[in-house]
Structure 1
Amino acid sequence: MDRTRSLALAGACAAFVAVPNLGALFGDGEQTDQYATAITPPDYAFGIWAPIFASCAASAVGQCLPAGRGDAISRRTGWPLAGAYAVNAAWSAAAQTGRFALTPYLLPVAAAFAATAHIRLQRTPPATGLVRATPASTGLLLGWTTLASAVNVFAAQADRASPRAVAAATAGLVATSAAVAAAVARSRRGGMTLALASSWALGTLACDPTRPRGARVAGALGAIMISTALGFAMRRRPHTAGRDSGAPRPSDTRPW
């Protein structure tokens, strides 16, 4: 079973990294102009995919090596991460081939898989070797794809430039940011990278003068909420962890 899971994870991660990058090298790449909405971060913000790809690849390698296959983190997160990587690859393929009817549905599914892995990490014993990259990589992936899911859903609206649609998207962005902040506040592992990825998306949106003022305010508000939640988690966890016999040790409860 460990071997089957490892093979599925390796194949999904390879597609996750290869599809968008090979598409950009040998084709037209993802048609990102389709996602130019009131709440879309500026182009430079998408540079976060470099550390996401690198950390996810390191995590997958660690989980697939013989020493990591039987690790508790590998067994609890391998399948949901394989799902997250595979659906992200499918999203990239759809975005490269103009199948935009699919993209609003695919990215939320990928985020849901990543969220499942993140939740399972919270009460899993610490790992060794490259498997230790899993909490950080999962946090990065979840933080970015959660905010990107909101953009994808909004981009599917035919009247996305109308004042009512912009207001709805802005409200949805605030609600999504609040959900991320709640997850960060409750995270024992991966919380710091979850906060960093989502705050990066929101902060760059807040600093983009081409976006509507309401969207920029929503981005700033979301980044503040998530940063505050991270500060709360960093102060709270060392004092509350270990009060019950099933909780991780205090040294293992840092939100990153």
Structure 2
Amino acid sequence: MDSARTIALASSCAAFVAVPCLGALLGKGERTDRYDTVITPPDYAFAVWGPIFAGCVASTVAQCRRQDDPMSRRTGWPLAGAYAVNTAWSVAAQSERFKLTPVLLPVATAFAAVAHGRAQGAESQAVATPVSTGLLLGWTALASTVNLVAGAVAAGTPKMSPKLVAASTAGLVAASAVVAASVARSRRGAVPFAVTAAWGLATTALSRRRPRGVRVAAGAGAMAVAAGSVVSSRRG
């Protein structure tokens, strides 16, 4: 089982990193800007994928080297699932199958959340996995909300429709509250979890292209996530 898990993890992580990078190089990027939403972070915010990819690769290498470590055994399979479904999301976006993206990303986020939860109880000193899982979960938890709204835009709803703007803002507030509470409960990986989530929220709050109500909600969300990180550090 250790060998099968390691192969699944290594191959899914390789695809997770390679598919979006190769797609961009080959001119087949994800083009998600076609379905912009009022809660989508600005373009520069997506540079966060650099440290996320680096962290996930480092974690995967560490797990491959220590296949029998409790952290590897508890988190390897859900991480393989997270990487595989994120890869499927990228393929769907690159091939303009945008109707699939609002379904795929929440599933990928659920896998990352399972891995993050299991990392909390692992009797191991390994740090790479909690850090990388926190980075991935913090960003994709909020991105899932954005994707759900993008799905509505792709279906033909004007992004500035008052009802969609209100629903988007409410969704952002709810997602921020869930993330903040989850960060506060985390014993491992809380800071990276908070950093990527707060980064997405803060950059949205600073974007003058977004409605004022969205910017206020995003700013409040960023502060709530930061507060959750403080609570976690005090508990630790």
TM-score by length of 2: 0.96
Shift of 1:64: 1.1
Aligned to 1:182: 181
Aligned to 1:143: 138
> 2:35 matched to 1:40?
no
Shift of 1:234: 1.1
Matching residue within 103, 109, 114 for 1:116: 114
Shift of 1:236: 2.3
Shift of 1:229: 1.1
Q: Please show how residues 22-61 of structure 1 align to structure 2 within 5 Å.
A: 22-61=22-61
Report sequence identity in percent: 61
Moved over 3 A (4+): none
Q: Report if the CA contact (8 A) 1:114-1:141 is conserved.
A: yes
Deviations 1:201-237 (A, max 9, x none): 0000000001111110111010011111111111123
Shift of 1:161: 2.2
Whose Rg is larger?
1
> 2:68 matched to 1:70?
yes
| Bigger mean CA deviation after superposition, 1-10 or 32-41 | 32-41
Q: Structure 2: any 5+ residue segments left out of the alignment?
A: none
The amino acid that maps onto 1:34 is: R
The amino acid that maps onto 2:113 is: A
Deviations 1:32-52 (A, max 9, x none): 213411000000000000000
Q: Report if the CA contact (8 A) 1:34-1:155 is conserved.
A: no
Aligned to 1:191: 190
Q: Report if the CA contact (8 A) 2:56-2:129 is conserved.
A: yes
Count of residues paired in the alignment: 232
Matching residue within 74, 77, 82 for 1:79: 77
> 2:9 matched to 1:14?
no
SS in 2 for 1:122: helix
Shift of 1:141: 0.2
Aligned to 1:102: 100
Q: Report if the CA contact (8 A) 1:13-1:85 is conserved.
A: yes
Whole-Å Cα distance in 1 between the matches of residues 142 and 190 of structure 2? Answer: 15
Root mean square deviation, CA, Å: 0.9
Whole-Å Cα distance in 1 between the matches of residues 187 and 107 of structure 2? Answer: 23
Q: Report if the CA contact (8 A) 1:30-1:95 is conserved.
A: yes
Shift of 1:28: 2.3
Aligned to 1:214: 213
Whole-Å Cα distance in 1 between the matches of residues 13 and 235 of structure 2? Answer: 34
